Structures are given as C-alpha cells and as structure tokens.
Amino acid sequence: MEVKEATGRLGVLIPGLGAVATTLIAGVEAVKKGIAQPIGSLTQMGNIHLNRKKGNNYPKIKDFVPLANLEDIVFGGWDVYEDNVYVAASRAKVLEQHTLETLRPQLEALKPMKAVFDKSYIKNLDGTHVKEAATKYALAEALMEDIAQFQETRDCDRLVIVWCGSTEKYIETGDVHESLSAFEKGLKENDPRIAPSMIYAYAALKMGIPFLNGAPNLTVDIPALTELAKQTQTPIGGKDFKTGQTLMKTILAPGLQARALGVKGWFSTNILGNRDGYVLDEPDNFKTKEVSKLSVLEDILRPDLSPELYGELYHKIRINYYPPHGDNKESWDNIDIFGWLGYSMQIKINFLCRDSILAAPLVLDLALFGDLAKRAGLSGIQEWLSFYFKSPQHAPGFRPEHDIFKQLTILQNALRKLMGEELVNPEGLTFAEEEITA
Ligand SMILES: NC(=O)c1ccc[n+]([C@@H]2O[C@H](COP(=O)([O-])OP(=O)(O)OC[C@H]3O[C@@H](n4cnc5c(N)ncnc54)[C@H](O)[C@@H]3O)[C@@H](O)[C@H]2O)c1
C-alpha cells in the first residue's frame, strides 16, 4: 500500500467547540509551545512493536507512520454559541486559567462559524449562532461553502472533521437513512429524521473529507452515509469517544472473562456537571448515551457462548447531572462476580476522572489517523479505529470489537500493514520466541 506523505497544512474542523474541543485546541497549542506533554495520545506518545531483526524495533508511532505534525495543524469549527475558543475554554473550566492566559491570542483568534442546529434534537441548548436556510439541503451547501472557504483562507492541503458536538436525542434508522437517494430527497424535503450531525457528515463526505464521530448519535452510522463514503472514497468512523467509565470497563471485563470468572451484575453510576451532563439530563438525549454504553459488556463477555458465567448478567447505567463537579466526572461501579464453586465476590471502582482531559487526546489521534487513512486510500468504516470508541461503527453482519487490548492489536496491525511490515499475530508466540533468541 502506498501512503502519501503528510505535506502542507492539515485543517481540523470541529462541529461543537465545547469542553472537549477547546481542551484539545488549547492542549495542542500548549504542546507546540513546549509547556506541556500530549499525554494520553497514542500518536504522540505511543510506540509500536515491529518484527525487525535490525534497527529500532520499537519506534514511536509518529516516527513509524507519516502523520501530520502538530505544527501543521490548523483548527476551525462551528458552534451554536458565539464564544471564541478562549472564552469557551474559560467557561468550560477544564484547564487552569493561567494556562489559558499564556495561549490567549491563539485561542481568541478562533471564532466558531454559525452552526446547523435543530433544538428538537437538543432541548437543553438555546444558542442563537445558527444558520438559516429553507431546506436541510441548503444547510449542507452552506456548510460546504464554510469548509471550502476555510480551506482557502487558512491554506490547508487537507481537511478532517471530528464531531465534538453535544449528544443528540435518540433516533433509530428509518427509510430516509437507508440509501443515499432517499437521504438526499429527505434533505430537500426537510425530513425531521435527519439530524444536524448528519448534515455536517453529508457535507464532509460529499467533499471527500474524513469524518469521525465522537458522540453516540447515529450521524455517519447510517447506510446512506456509508454509501456516500464509499462513493467519494472517504474514511469514516464512530461512535462515542471511549473515556472514563467505559474505558475502565473494557480494560477490566476482558480480564475477568480471560480468567473464566462469572459476572452477575455491573452497576455503573456517574455524576458530572458540565454542559455535556446538562444535555444528558434530558431523557431523550440520555437514551442515546445509554444505548452506546450498554453494548460493551455483552460483546466482551459473550453470554451466548458462556451462559453459565454471564447468562444472568444485569447491567445498569446511570448519569446524573451534578453542577458542583463540573467537568470532573466521578463514577462508581459495583461489580458482582463469582468464582470457584459459585462463591460470590465484589469489586468497587471509584474513578475521579476529568472527562475532557481523557477525551482531548482521542480527538487528536482520530484527526491524525483519519487523515492518514485518506492518504493511504482507505475508505468507508475504519474498524481499526474501534480502539477510540464506546460503540464502534462496524459493517453490517459483523460484531464490533470492544476489548481494548484486541482493539489495540487491530490498530497496530493496520499501521504495520500500511507500512509493509510483518503483522504481529495476536497470540504473539512465534514473535516473542524469535525476539528472545535474537
Ligand atoms: N468528554 C468525554 O469524556 C466524552 C466521552 C465520550 C463522548 N463525549 C461526547 O463528546 C461531545 C462533546 O462533549 P463536551 O464535553 O465537549 O460537551 P460540551 O457541551 O462542552 O460541548 C459540545 C458543544 O457542541 C455544541 N453544539 C451542539 N450542537 C451543535 C451543532 N449542531 N453544531 C455545532 N455545535 C453544536 C454546543 O453548543 C457545545 O458548545 C458530547 O456529545 C459528549 O457526549 C464526550
């Protein structure tokens, strides 16, 4: 496979310049200034194991695959509020104010473009920085104009879009989403089942721009848009950044399953007080998140294969809006497990995390890998990026992979394949033996 070099500037466009996006943008600026480290980003900090006899067989990922440099990234985006990135980041209260002050000129210069928004999809937001047009099709055209203008004025060679907008209300796929022609008809007829995030995705894919979805909304996970992605040879991926509680779940559950320990119940509850939490306080929006979070355990534990261990599993998830905690989400998990002869045990996890601190590096990696995929000629669903998602988008008829360790192997093997290196088999035995005797 031939991967084109990452020459010139990469425009990273973000619908939703809220807590996650502003933490990312300020973070990249801080790293560029040399005042902070990009911790949590695999593309910047991670290494990859290669089956090479000579030379460095554990290089940094960024030295192994041709990724855009942070210096070559230009940010832009849309929001329903007019606040520039400095104001939005100060409001989000994720990063310390003195850090934001040192980056103030760069952050203030970044002002959101007017959003495509529909309040019926997010009842708890009331922003007015919103585009007006007669049809959803015209709104998509307006977004395409924004994108073309951004590319020209900011002198970008390539673009990538990562959805960091709020979680939209729960909807299921209907006939309007089933084919590209039905979807385009729906855009022209203002079909209410076409969500704003889908309009952004349509605009991106029409222009051949990779689109990654960090929220649990369907967005690009509908047949119409996977069809368009194939047609315009564009990489897509989603859904819902895997951070916090679900990250912990997909680290721990594979271990319990590996040891054939039974799991009877897994109760997860969260408190958070940021704008995301406020949006999720609305039951229709929480439902979208709940569905995304619930799928994880079943796919890892496979009650269909081991009903005696996982057949009775009761999985419950709650998110509670609690303003005093802001972005510092606190989660509790109570896990009822059982072992030899059925004797019961309990595990308790109390994770005092920082939501946007965990999510920001994922946005960076997805932007850089989305751009890499495009330069490598990959298109359609990028299942190798499942590592980053709570509810990985996958081809119909296939099971998504949730186990974080398997996801990492799949991601690294995709990189090895792109660069013409030998794949490492997941068991790793032959590989390990050769290495020890080398
Ligand atoms: N932080 C995490 O750990 C995490 C993990 C997984 C998923 N997510 C998802 O990422 C998204 C962003 O999270 P956040 O904490 O930054 O939320 P946030 O509320 O701080 O930011 C979201 C922003 O999107 C804007 N927005 C909403 N609809 C829009 C539209 N149609 N067009 C443009 N902008 C729009 C809002 O005005 C807001 O500023 C949410 O959907 C959240 O559920 C976050």
Q: What is the CATH number of the domain that holds 278?
A: 3.30.360.10
Does 28 score more than 60 pLDDT? Answer: yes
**296 and 392 co-located in one domain:** no
3 occurs within a structural domain: no
When divided into structural domains, the chain yields a total of 2
**146 and 257 co-located in one domain:** no
User: Given this model, what pLDDT does residue 438 score?
Assistant: 43
Residue 316 belongs to domain spanning: 245-352
**368 and 342 co-located in one domain:** no
430 occurs within a structural domain: no
**233 and 306 co-located in one domain:** no
Read off the pLDDT band of 256 (50, 70, 90).
very high
Q: How many whole angstroms from 303 Cα to the centroid of ligand 1?
A: 33
433 occurs within a structural domain: no
Beta bridge partners of 330: 271, 352
**41 and 168 co-located in one domain:** yes
State the alpha helices, DSSP H only, in 93-243: 97-102, 104-108, 136-153, 180-188, 196-206, 223-231
Picking from 56-65, 112-121, 380-389, 394-403, which range would have the lowest pLDDT averaged per residue?
394-403
Contact 199/354 with Cβ under 8 angstroms? no
**348 and 362 co-located in one domain:** no
Instruction: Give the residue with greater pLDDT, 424 vs 91.
Output: 91
Place of tokens 């203002």: 190
**Who contacts 415 (Cβ-Cβ below 8 Å, separation ≥6)?**
48, 61, 64, 65
Picking from 70-84, 198-212, 251-265, 291-305, which range would have the lowest pLDDT averaged per residue?
291-305
Dist CA 210 CA 233 (whole Å)? 9
| Mean pLDDT across the chain | 94
User: Given this model, what pLDDT does residue 426 score?
Assistant: 55
User: Given this model, what pLDDT does residue 138 score?
Assistant: 98
CA atoms within 13 A on the CB side of 416: 19
Tell the burial category of 340 from Cβ atoms under 10 Å away from its Cβ (0-12, 13-18, 19+): exposed
**154 and 41 co-located in one domain:** yes
168 occurs within a structural domain: yes
User: Given this model, what pLDDT does residue 1 score?
Assistant: 73
Query: CATH number of the domain that 203 lies in?
Result: 3.40.50.720
Around ligand 1, the residues with Cβ closer than 6 Å are 15-21, 78-81, 92, 115-117, 122, 125, 127, 164-167, 196, 214-215, 240-241, 243-244, 274-276, 279, 355-356, 358-359
**339 and 377 co-located in one domain:** no
Does 423 score more than 70 pLDDT? Answer: yes
Picking from 169-178, 273-282, 376-385, which range would have the lowest pLDDT averaged per residue?
273-282
Residues 38-59: pLDDT tens digits? 999 999 999 999 987 778 889 9
Ligand 1: nearest atom to the Cα of 15: 33
Q: Which long-range contacts (CB under 8 A, 24 or more apart) does 67-70 make?
A: 67/6, 67/43, 67/368, 67/369, 67/371, 67/372, 68/6, 68/10, 68/158, 68/368, 68/371, 69/6, 70/28, 70/31, 70/32, 70/38, 70/44
**Who contacts 98 (Cβ-Cβ below 8 Å, separation ≥6)?**
none
Read off the pLDDT band of 206 (50, 70, 90).
very high
How many beta carbons lie within 10 A of that of residue 368, not counting itself? Answer: 26
Picking from 50-59, 226-235, 251-260, 386-395, which range would have the lowest pLDDT averaged per residue?
50-59
**270 and 380 co-located in one domain:** no
Dist CA 428 CA 436 (whole Å)? 12
User: Given this model, what pLDDT does residue 436 score?
Assistant: 45
176 occurs within a structural domain: yes
Does 427 score more than 80 pLDDT? Answer: no
198 occurs within a structural domain: yes
Per-residue pLDDT, averaged over 373-380, amounts to 97
**82 and 167 co-located in one domain:** yes
Does 428 score more than 50 pLDDT? Answer: no
Domain's final residue, options 332, 352, 372: 352
Q: How many whole angstroms from 276 Cα to the centroid of ligand 1?
A: 6
1 occurs within a structural domain: no
User: Given this model, what pLDDT does residue 292 score?
Assistant: 74
Residues 137-164: pLDDT tens digits? 999 999 999 999 999 999 999 999 999 9
User: Given this model, what pLDDT does residue 433 score?
Assistant: 47
Domain's final residue, options 352, 372, 395: 352
Domain's final residue, options 303, 330, 352: 352
Ligand 1: nearest atom to the Cα of 77: 33
Does 437 score more than 90 pLDDT? Answer: no
Contact 379/230 with Cβ under 8 angstroms? yes
5 occurs within a structural domain: no
Instruction: Give the residue with greater pLDDT, 113 vs 277.
Output: 113
**79 and 163 co-located in one domain:** yes
Please state the φ and ψ torsions of residue 332, each to the nearest 5 degrees. Answer: -125, 135
Q: How many whole angstroms from 118 Cα to the centroid of ligand 1?
A: 15
**223 and 252 co-located in one domain:** no
